[in-house]
Chains A and B, each alone.
Chain A
Amino acid sequence: MPVPLSPEQAAFLQGPVSINVAATGSDGWPVVCRAQGCSVARDRRSVTLLLSARQASAVLAALEASGAIAAVFSRPASHATLQIKARGTSRVPLTAAHRACHAQYSSRLGDELGSLGYGSDLVHGLKLMLSSSDLLALRLSPEVIFDQTPGPDAGRVLARA
C-alpha cells in the first residue's frame, strides 16, 4: 500500500535536488547510481525516476533480481534530505513530459550548485553527466518516507504504509 507524499514533499522531490538510487545486487552487495530527474504523479502516490541506462545498469540488474529500491533526495542549498523506499519498481515508457523534466532538472540543479559557489568546471561536468541520451523511466510507489537531513534525527520515519 503506497503512502502519498505531502504536497511539500512532492515539490521538494521535483526541485533542484541531488537524487541517488540504491538497490541490492544478486551477490548481496548494494549498488548505487545518480538519477537525472524525478516527476511525481498527480495523486502523489507514485514517483517516476529518470535514469541513464548505462549509468544505472548495475542498479537496473539488481532491481530485476530483488525489486526493492531506495532513493535519496538532497537539496544542496539547505542539506534538507528525504529518502523513500519501495519494494518494487516498474519500467514505464519515456514521454515528452519526462524529457522536458530531464532538461529542466539538470539546468536547475546546475544553477543551484553554481549559486552556491561550486565552480563552472563542476557545473559544466554536471550538465554533461546529466544529459544522457539513453534515458529511461522507472516508476515506484513510496512505502516509507524518511527524513534524512543530516543530524541526530536523520532516519526518522515521516510516513509508512
Chain B
Amino acid sequence: MKPTLESLRPCLDGAVPSVVATCAADGTPNVAYASQVHYVDGEHVALSYQFFSKTRENVLAHPYAMVQVVEPGSFRHYRLKVRYLRTETSGPLFEYMKAQLAGIAAQTGMDKVFVLRGADLYRVHDIEAVDPHLPPAPPPPDALLRLRRTLDHLGASDDLAGLADRALTALTPAFGIRHALLTMLDETGSALYTLASIGYAASGVGAEVALGEGIIGVAARERIPVRINYRTGDYAYQAAMRSADRAASVIPLPLLAEAHSQIAIPLVYGGRLLGVLYAESEQDAFFSHSDEDALVVYGRHLAALITQSACEPDEPEPASTQTAPLPAGGEPLVVRYFASDHSVFIDNDYLIRGVAGSILWTLLNEYAQSGRRDFCNRELRRDSRLPLPDFGDNLETRLILLQRRLAERCPDIALEKTGRGRFRLVPGRQLKLLAG
C-alpha cells in the first residue's frame, strides 16, 4: 500500500533535512537540500524559496522534481514525485512558511540570511517508501486522547475569568504545556492584549502584541496556526515585537528567554477572531503536527465557550447599591488619566490603557462624585464615555484584565465580582484624580 502524504507529516517537521532533485532543460540533474518541505494538504507540498537557486531555475524551466524526506524516529526514507505548480508570495501559506523558516534558519545558523521570498507549491504525484521493511518510528502520543483529557480538565464554562485561567492550566496534564499565554484581540482589531498566562515569573497580564508581529501577531492576522519547532533568534518571530509606545514598553510579554518550540493558535468563533492561544517549550520539536491539529480544535472550542460566557445574562440589579466614604487620612493615591489613549497611571506608574483604562477612570470618577461602589456591566455598555465595540465579551475580558492589573500593580484599588455582570470597587486609600 502506498503511504499517504498525511502519514508523512512527521517527516516534514525539519528534523532531518529533505533533499530535492531536479533537472535542467538539457537533462543535467541537480540535487540540493530543501530548507523546508511544508505539508499543504493531502496532495500538495510547498518548498521554501529563499534564493534563486539551481533547483528553482530548473523547476521553472522543467517542473518535475523528486523530494526525499526522512522520518525522524526511524530514518525511513520516502520519495515524493512532485510537479511544480506556482509560487505564492503572500497569504496564509506564505506567512506560515515564513514563520517556520525563521525557526529552521536559526537552527542552521542562517537566521540573518534566510528570508522567505515565496512558497513554491508542488503537486504530489506519487510516494514511494524506500525501505518498507525497516521498523517504523515509535508511535507519537495520541493527540486526540490528549485533547479529550484537556477538555475534561477545562470543564464547563462558568465565569470568563475562571475560563481564561483553566484554558491554560488544562493544557498541562495531557500536552505537558507549562508555558502559555491567552491573548485577546482588542477593540481596534490591530493588537492583542494578554489576559492570562501560566509558567512565567511575571504574569504579563496587559502586555500587548501588534497584529502581524511575531508568531502571535501572524497567527492572528492570517487566522492560521503557526508552529515553530526550533529556537529562533529572528526578532520578528519571537512571540511579539513590542511597539514603541509607552504602554507596550511598560508591560513586557513574559516569554521564555530561549523558546525552542512555539505554537500560536487563533481563537475563532463564527468567523470572528477573538484572540490567540500561545504556548512554548524549552525543548526542540515539542509540538507535533497532530498536536497542532488538536490545539486548533481546542482553540475553536475555547472560542465558543468564551463567546457563550459573554452572552450569559447579567444578574438582576439589587434594590440598593452600597456607598461608602473615601477612607480618611494617609497620602492620597494619584491616579492620572490620559484621554488620548485612555491610559491610567498610578503614582506615575503605568497601569492600563484602552477600554480597561477608560472603565477604571469612569468608575473612579463616579465613586469620587457619589461614593457609589457597586456597578454592573449593563450600565457600562450603555455608557457613552467608554470606547466599547459592539461585542459584549470585550467588556467582560477588559474587566478581568483591569481586575488583574489592579491586583498586581495597585492593591489599593480592587475590583470584586459580586455576581454575574456585577462588581464592586474597593478603594483602600484616598484618591486624587488628575486628567491629562
Contact = CB atoms under 8 A, between A and B. Distances in A.
Contacts of A18: 17
Interface string A123-142: 11110110000000000000
Interface in A1-44: 18, 20-24, 28-34
Given A29-B66, A125-B76, A155 B54 contact: yes
Interface residues of A, number: 42
B324 interface: no
A148 interface: yes
Given A24-B23, A72-B33, A148-B33, A30 B68 contact: no
Interface stretch (B130-138, B271-279, B314-322, B374-382): B130-138
B44 interface: no
B32 A154 contact: yes
Interface stretch (B105-113, B158-166, B167-175, B395-403): B105-113
A28 B64 CA distance: 7
A79 B109 contact: yes
A155 B74 contact: no
B19 A24 contact: no
Interface in B369-421: none
A79 B53 contact: no
B27 A68 contact: yes
B399 to A, nearest CB: 46
Nearest to B56: A155
A74 B19 CA distance: 11
A14 to B, nearest CB: 19
Given A21-B31, A70-B31, A155-B53, A30 B66 contact: yes
A93 interface: no
A77 B284 CA distance: 16
Contacts, number: 132
B228 interface: no
B77 interface: yes
Interface magnitude class on chain B? 35 or more
B108 to A, nearest CB: 5
Contacts of A55: 77, 130-131
Nearest to A119: B73
Contacts of B74: 121-122, 125
**Most B Cβ at <10 Å: residue of A30, A68, A152, A155:** A30
B130 A24 contact: no
Interface in A51-74: 55, 66, 68-72, 74
Contacts of A20: 19, 21, 31, 68
A31 to B, nearest CB: 6
Given A29-B64, A32-B31, A121-B138, A154 B23 contact: no
Given A125-B74, A151-B113, A28 B31 contact: no
A72 B27 contact: no
Interface string B41-79: 000000000010110000000101110100111111101
B110 A68 contact: no
B33 A81 contact: yes
B29 A68 contact: yes
B28 interface: yes
24 contacts: A20-B68, A22-B31, A28-B62, A32-B68, A32-B79, A33-B68, A55-B77, A66-B27, A68-B27, A70-B31, A72-B19, A72-B31, A85-B28, A118-B16, A121-B73, A123-B75, A125-B135, A128-B134, A148-B32, A148-B33, A150-B114, A151-B110, A155-B32, A155-B54
Interface of B: 15-17, 19-23, 27-33, 35, 51, 53-54, 62, 64-66, 68, 71-77, 79, 81, 108-110, 113-114, 130-131, 134-135, 137-138, 284
Closest CB pairs A-B (n = 7)? A125-B75, A22-B21, A22-B31, A32-B21, A30-B21, A22-B29, A24-B23
